[in-house]
Structure formats: C-alpha cells, structure tokens
Structure 1
Amino acid sequence: MQLSIIIPLLNEVDSLKELHHWLSDTLEANGFSYEVIFIDDGSTDGSWEVIDTLSRKHTEVKAIRFNRNYGKSQALHAGFEAAQGDVIITMDADLQDNPEEIPELYKMIVDEKYDLVSGWKKKRYDSVIAKNLPSKIFNAAARKTSGLKLHDFNCGLKAYRKEVIKTVDVYGEMHRYIPVLAKNAGFSQIGEKVVQHQKRKYGETKFGMERFINGFLDLLTIWFLGSFGKRPMHLFGALGVLMSIVGFSFAGYLGVDKVFLNPTGRLITQRPQFYIALVAMLIGVQLFIAGFIGELILRSKRDKQRYIIKETL
C-alpha cells in the first residue's frame, strides 16, 4: 500500500462526506493504492454514523472510535499504530487542508528521500488576532528552541516515511512538535512545502487561548526532553553541584570568620549568611535526588494505556 491518510476529528459531521469524496477523486486519479483512517476523538454530533456509512460503502475507509475525547495527539498515535502505507499523510477533517497537495507530498517522500514534509499555510484565512498572530509567535519560538527552520509547525497536513511514525511517540499535546520529535529520534531529512489553506466551510475552530498557552508549555517540555530527557542527572546534578558550592562556601566563610577573625561577634545562627548556606545546601541535595529519581524513572518506564478504543471499522 502506497498511502495511509490519517484524519483525526472531533464533531465534523458536515464535512466528512465531502472530504472523502474529494480525497477519493484525487487519489484514484493519481493511481494510488491507499487507505483512509478516520479517528473519531469522542464526537457527539453524529460523525461516527457518517464514518460507519462510508466504511460500509468503501473498503478503503477504516475507522477508530474513542470512548471519549482524548485529544489530537492520542488520535494521531492510534492512527500511526494502525497505518500500513509506505507513506503516511495526516490532515484535518474540516476541509481546510487540500487533498490535491497529497501527490506532491508523496513525491517529496519517495523521490526526494525526505523523512518528513510539513505543510506551510503561507496564506491563511483565519482570524489575525485569534489565530494568525499567536501562531507566528509560537512558530518563531519553536524555530528558536528546536533549530528546525519550519514556518508552520502546527499545520495538520504533513507527510511521513513509515519508519518515522512507527518510531516517534506522540503523547500529551505533542502533535504540534512531531517534526521536533522526529529530529530528536534521528530523522534529519525534514522539509517543508507551501500548501493551500481553505476557508473553514463548516463548524467552528477548535483553537483557543488555552491551546496557545499549552503549546508553549509543551515546547518547554520538548526542549527539556530533547536536551536532557535521556540524561536528567546532567541537568539536576549540575544545578545541585552549583547550589552545594554556594552553600558550602557561605558555611566555610562563617566558620573561618567565627573561629579566626571575629570569635566574640554574633552567633552564626544570628547571621543571614547562615540561612543562605543552609537553604543552598538543602536545595543542592534535593536537586541531586531529583536527578537520581529521573534516572530511575527513565530506566523503569513502562508503557501505559493512554486511551480506550470503543469501536473500530
């Protein structure tokens, strides 16, 4: 199978039939062998009934239904697990991603040997204040911290070599940073393609200020995991050494001052340097312990069930 099209969705009942028709026309016109995997992330508007009907009529349509809303990252994870194609395409279900971009994305993976190609919606039809401006700030921060020169990290339209999606672990709300996760996993051929952005035809955007804030928090997490995820003691141990040096330096100064320089002066416990020394040494010990615990967790990590699948087609 050449292509797996993975489409996570939440309450997109109005767009599903039109999206499938658009997809099938494009892919069959280009002679692709393909599957379309819909992941219903807890929809409550009848989306699953539409997907069920499409699956009965079209053998290439497959579907996964969660028992509740878990988020886009978990939906993509389930889709990645099920995908069988050599090239995997992810796209949104709201008709804002153009299926006619898929043949060129496929060629970039197969012919130009990219591991991952991310779409860039250079011209957007979203609200400037509500989405465009926050996205620009977010993308600038992501470029700075990751070193990847992508313009649109959060574009839903992406193409992957099969090995990439079977290697990276998408969890939490890390779907925004799959290119960064791929880079951290050793996939260096990461490219970008300008893609057409469609105006939203049905429904409402799922983007909000909460997701914007969570995106930046996840970016900090990705930066930390990329830099110290496999060696937490290097960070916490270094900070612990620094704080311990500060604490013991103040303690040494107090001892020398009391014994040799000013033996009849104030008690050590009456001096502010004593509390600075005490707090610094305690923090240093705690940072060392945090580093050790991080190493233990890293070595004993186990896979846990992250979502419950209610039904598959």
Structure 2
Amino acid sequence: MYELSLVITLLNEEENISPLHSAIRAALSGYNYEVVFVDDGSTDGTVREIKKLQNDRVKLVKLSKNYGQSIAMSAGIDHAQGEYIVLLDGDLQNDPADIPFMLEKLKSEDWDVVAGNRRNRQDGMFLRKLPSNIANAMIRRYTGVHLRDYGCTLKIFKHEIAKNLDLYGELHRFIPVLASLQGARIVQVDVHHHARKFGHSKYGIGRTFKVASDLILILFLQRYLRKPMHLFGGIGLFLLLPGILIMLYMLVIKLLGENIWGKPILILGVLLIIIGVLFIMMGIMTELLMRIYYGTGNRRLYLVKELYNGAN
C-alpha cells in the first residue's frame, strides 16, 4: 500500500502533464506515492502525454466521456490505494511542494482533512476571484463549516474519509462540508498558488449560480439526509393543521345555516389540506428512497474506458 495517492483530474491539459509530473517527483522524493491521473474526456493529447511518462508510480483512469470534475475526482479516489489521499489540480496552479508540510500537519496533529487556502491567489478578479468569494461566503454562512477557501482543490485526507465522500454532480466545492458530515476534523493552511501558464480555465462567473443551487442540496444533505421526514413532514403538518382548523370553522358556520360555497377561506382551507398531505407523502417517499440508497452498494456514476499503468 502506498503512503500517498495523488488524484489529479484533467480536461485538455496536455501541456501541463510533463512539468506537473516533474514537480511532483521533486516535491515527493523519498515518499512512497502513486499518481492517479483521471482523464475526464479530453479531446487533445492529454492521454498521450500521460502515457509518455513511463513511470510505475503513474496510473491513468480514462473516463468514457466528460462527466465533470466531481465525478472525475470520485473515479480517481475509487482507484487510489494510498493511506492518505491528495486532491491536486492538473493546471500547475497548485504547488506539489506544499504536500509534505500538509501531510506532516495531518499526521502530527491527527486531523482528518487538511485543506489548502490560496492566500495570494493568482487569478483574474472578476471571472475567478469574485465568483469564488461570493460562493465561499454563501457556503460559510449556511453550512456552518468555516473555511476561508472552499475552492482550493489541494487537500489531503485520511483514506477512510476520502473513500466515503460520495461525490457527484458539482459537489467538489463542498468537499469540506461532505467530510464534516462524517465527523471529520478539518483544518486549513495557507498554500502557494501560481498563475496558469498553459491552457485556459474551464470555470467562470456562471459557476456561482451552480454553487447557489448545489448549496440547497448540501443543506438538505447536512440537516435532513438521514431524517427527510422531519423536513417534509414538518412542512406538511404546518400546512395541514391550519387547513383542518379552517374546515372545522367552515363546518360550524355551515351548521349554523350560513352559505359557505365560494368563500375564499374555504378554498384556502382545501388547498392547505391538499398541499399538506402531499408534503407528508413526499416525506414518506423520500424516507423509502433513502432506505433504498443506503441498502444499495457499489454505486458508480461513471464508466471507465481505459486503465493504464506506467509500468506497462
């Protein structure tokens, strides 16, 4: 078993492969490590450049198409064998030289996750920094997991934490929150950040809107994943009880001889009862879905087209 597994997701990064691999070798000399490159549907020469490395520490997981960064990370973690798992960007903006310090902090202070904070971030203000700052503020405010920089890919995990992140969709920015759901102890440290030399970023201002929508999902996972009935049932009862009271009131005045047909309050009562019942039924269905989810093993959201080991 390796001490370290570096999981690096790639999409059209052919010019970065060789210098990144050289930087990793220089930074981790003396460590027992592997590098798991995950090609997320690249259309350039990224795969070709990885195969040129001819190093028995190098693995390639080539996905059948572009699934997105979260699922690509999940695929890399699934194929990682290290005692500690490192997530690292493939664009040379993260610095592998930060890994030994982060690993030592995790081991000496017994953290479960050490996350990087890009203190002097080398990105454009309006297309990268501004959306990121907005997203970071939203996540801190609503999840209660207080980190300065959620978007820095560079993180080190204990093996068991990384293996149970259940990444999918666009949830990679919420990795610290997903780890905290497992009770992980998380610390953040300042790391180096470099300007991109080759290629171009795949992200921009539109990512902020994806973060906002995913935040709703994260809040549900954080608070109600194992008890969805508490959310949907609570809303249902909140609506159902006033509806029942209104209908009892309507029954009383009807028995007193008053014509209640067409009254707005009658329509309101009917709507509250119907919507309340629907929410309760939704809660029951979600509970059943959660039982199916937890009872089903070996869930995979990706298809691997090719596995390659540099020793071959």
| TM-score exceeds 0.5 | yes
Post-superposition Cα deviations, 1:60-94, rounded to whole Å, max 9, x if no partner, equal: 11110011100111111111111111111111010
User: 2:19 aligns to what SS in structure 1?
Assistant: helix
- TM-score when scaled to structure 1? 0.94
Matched, 1:165 2:158: no
Structure 2 alignment gaps of length 5 or more: none
Find the counterpart in structure 2 of residue 14 from structure 1: 15
> What is the identity, as a one-letter code, of the residue corresponding to 1:48?
V
Bigger Cα displacement from structure 2, 140-149 vs 38-47: 140-149
| Cα distance in structure 1, aligned partners of 2:261 and 2:46 | 69
Bigger Cα displacement from structure 2, 136-145 vs 205-214: 205-214
Post-superposition Cα deviations, 1:79-133, rounded to whole Å, max 9, x if no partner, equal: 1111111111111010000111011011011111110011001211211111111
- TM-score when scaled to structure 2? 0.95
Q: Across the two proteins, how many residue pairs are aligned to each other? A: 304
> What is the identity, as a one-letter code, of the residue corresponding to 1:250?
I
On the 8 A contact 2:5/2:35 being kept in 1, the answer is: yes
1:139 Cα deviation from its structure 2 partner: 0.6
| Cα distance in structure 1, aligned partners of 2:188 and 2:300 | 33
| Cα distance in structure 2, aligned partners of 1:309 and 1:195 | 32
Matched, 1:240 2:239: no
> What is the identity, as a one-letter code, of the residue corresponding to 2:38?
I
Aligned equivalent of 1:308, options 300, 303, 306: 303
1:304 Cα deviation from its structure 2 partner: 4.0
Aligned equivalent of 1:194, options 190, 202, 211: 190
| Cα distance in structure 2, aligned partners of 1:304 and 1:216 | 26
On the 8 A contact 2:116/2:152 being kept in 1, the answer is: yes
Structure 1 alignment gaps of length 5 or more: none
Matched, 1:120 2:117: yes
| Cα distance in structure 2, aligned partners of 1:269 and 1:69 | 58
1:277 Cα deviation from its structure 2 partner: 0.5
Moved >6 Å (runs of 4+): none
Find the counterpart in structure 2 of residue 215 from structure 1: 211
| Cα distance in structure 1, aligned partners of 2:20 and 2:171 | 25
Aligned equivalent of 1:273, options 242, 265, 269: 265
User: 2:172 aligns to what SS in structure 1?
Assistant: helix
1:255 Cα deviation from its structure 2 partner: 1.8
1:253 Cα deviation from its structure 2 partner: 1.7
Matched, 1:295 2:290: no
| Cα distance in structure 1, aligned partners of 2:301 and 2:83 | 26
C-alpha RMSD over aligned residues = 1.2
On the 8 A contact 1:87/1:109 being kept in 2, the answer is: no
